[in-house]
Amino acid sequence: MLNLKIKQIGNSIGVIIPKEVAKGMNLKPETEVVIDIKKKGNVLKELFGALPNLKAVDLKKVRKELESKYWN
């Protein structure tokens, strides 16, 4: 998975594939690719309030849930 920023390219927007990645995957101009686009969220904002009662939280369970959600 790559984390890339969208760039303005003329009247359009796009992403730049790093040279190392393009070379490693043998990508050349005009090669068709499939891209799965997901907007990167603010992890801290999503986590705020995720732990409703810190005194009664099973930390191992919480860690497992957070890892499965954010570190696939």
The predicted model scores a pTM of 0.51
CB atoms within 10 A of CB 25: 11
Question: What percent of the chain clears pLDDT 70, i.e. is strictly above it?
Answer: 79
pLDDT digits (tens, 9 = 90+) for 4-26: 899 999 999 999 999 999 999 99
CA-based end-to-end distance of the chain = 11
**For 8, which DSSP code?**
E
pLDDT greater at residue 29 or residue 3: 29
Domain positions in the chain are 7-70
With a cut of 90, say whether residue 27 has pLDDT above it.
yes
Separation between Cα atoms, residue 21 and residue 27, nearest integer Å: 8
Work out the angle at residue 20's Cα, subtended by the Cα atoms of residues 25 and 34, and round it to the nearest 5 degrees.
Answer: 40
pLDDT for res 19? 94
Separation between Cα atoms, residue 20 and residue 23, nearest integer Å: 5
Across the range 43-55, mean pLDDT stands at 64
